[in-house]
Structure formats: C-alpha cells, structure tokens
Amino acid sequence: MIASLRGKIQSSSLNSLVLDVSGVGYLVQVIPSLALNAAVGNECFVHTAFVVREDAFTIFGFETLEELAAFDLLRSVTGVGPKSALSIIHQLGVQDLSAAVLNEDDSAFKQVSGIGPKTAKLIVVTLAGKIQGGSARGASSIDTDVVSALTGLGYQQKVAEQAVTSAKKDAKDASKEALLRIALQKIGKG
C-alpha cells in the first residue's frame, strides 16, 4: 500500500498531478482545488489511497488525513465509487460533509454531480454512526486495514477483530503498522 507521496510536481491537470518521486512519476488523482494550486516544479506532499480494481490501479491524493478518512468512509457506501467520493469531498469539503451526515441532510449530496436521491439518502444512513464531532473518524479505516492484513495472513475474521480491539486498548493512537505489530503479538500470546 502507498500511504503517502512526496515529490516534485512534473505536470498537473484539472483532476490529477504527476509527482516525481526519486525519478518515478506517479499519476495521482486529486480534487481540482489541489491541482489548481499546484505549480510545476514545486514539491508536494499528499496522503494517498491506493485503489485496486480489475481494470486499473489508481492513486488518490489528499492534503489532509481528514480528507483521506472521509474518502475511505464514502467508498464504504454502496454505489459510491472513488471518483464520486472525490467529487463529494471537492464540492462539500470534510466539514460540510460531516455536518450533512450529522444533520441527516441528504440534499447536500444531491447537489454533487452523479449522486442521485437514493444514493444521497444511503450516504446519510450508512455514515450516520461513523462520523463524529464534525469530522470523519480515521481510526475506523485503520482498524479495517489492520483486520484485512491479519485475515490476509490467514487469521480468522473474528480472531483478527478481537486482536485489533485488544491492541487498541494498549496503544490508543498507534499507527497502522504499530497496531498490526501489537495485534500479532496478542494473537501469538493467545
């Protein structure tokens, strides 16, 4: 997984940047405001989501961890793909997105191109318990990633979830890697 990229901007378009990282150019899909503020030749840092589909591998870049967490949460909604999630973040921003979910205001999502009334309602219903205090919770995506890593190593889903829950009690603000290490230790002791 590619968690972040730092490099010089080779080129930019309305929705993407090409970042030169140690001689390798990475095409990163971004919101238009980030692309428009990017000057060729300047250094840029983005938090990333690496999305694998059967027809493409795509990197999505964000200025803040809150935007990345919101992107991951939006993608968890049935019918919201990565491009739609990016459009929602661009048009609403993290604060307005959070407020719309907390206030159960699906009309904010209907204004985004490609989001119909059913999908707008589904976004509000699905994210209702996942958004707290005006911002998207990033911890849930970290937990999910660590559980996925553990199940990928062959552990059962329930064992992986219990190990992550136990690991979080020992290290509340641990990084994804640290949480995985602690969870593996918990499984080894159990």
pLDDT digits (tens, 9 = 90+) for 163-189: 888 888 887 777 888 888 888 888 887
CATH of the domain at 8: 2.40.50.140
Distances (CA, A) of 68 to 43, 152, 159, 172: 20, 23, 27, 20
Which of 134, 152, 170 represents a domain boundary (last residue)? 134
pLDDT at 91 over 90: yes
User: Do 157 and 124 fall within a single domain?
Assistant: no
The single-letter code of the amino acid at 118 is K
User: Do 49 and 70 fall within a single domain?
Assistant: no
The single-letter code of the amino acid at 26 is Y
What is the residue range of 82's domain? 65-134
CATH of the domain at 184: 1.10.8.10
Give the distance, in angstroms, between the CA of residue 93 and the centroid of all CA atoms in the same chain: 14
Which of 134, 155, 173 represents a domain boundary (last residue)? 134
What pLDDT, on a 0 to 100 scale, did the predictor assign at position 22? 96
User: Do 100 and 146 fall within a single domain?
Assistant: no
User: Do 58 and 110 fall within a single domain?
Assistant: no
Q: How confident is the model at residue 138 (pLDDT cuts 50, 70, 90)?
A: very low
What tens digit of pLDDT does each residue of 126-137 get? 998 787 654 444
Which of 134, 159, 179 represents a domain boundary (last residue)? 134
User: Do 92 and 147 fall within a single domain?
Assistant: no
Number of domains in the chain: 3
User: Do 123 and 162 fall within a single domain?
Assistant: no
User: Do 129 and 69 fall within a single domain?
Assistant: yes
User: Do 112 and 166 fall within a single domain?
Assistant: no
pLDDT at 25 over 80: yes
Give the separation between CA 17 and CA 6, rounded to whole angstroms. 12
CATH of the domain at 96: 1.10.150.20
Helical ranges in the chain per DSSP H: 32-37, 65-75, 82-102, 107-110, 117-127, 139-152, 157-170, 176-189
User: Do 42 and 101 fall within a single domain?
Assistant: no
Give the separation between CA 62 and CA 46, rounded to whole angstroms. 5
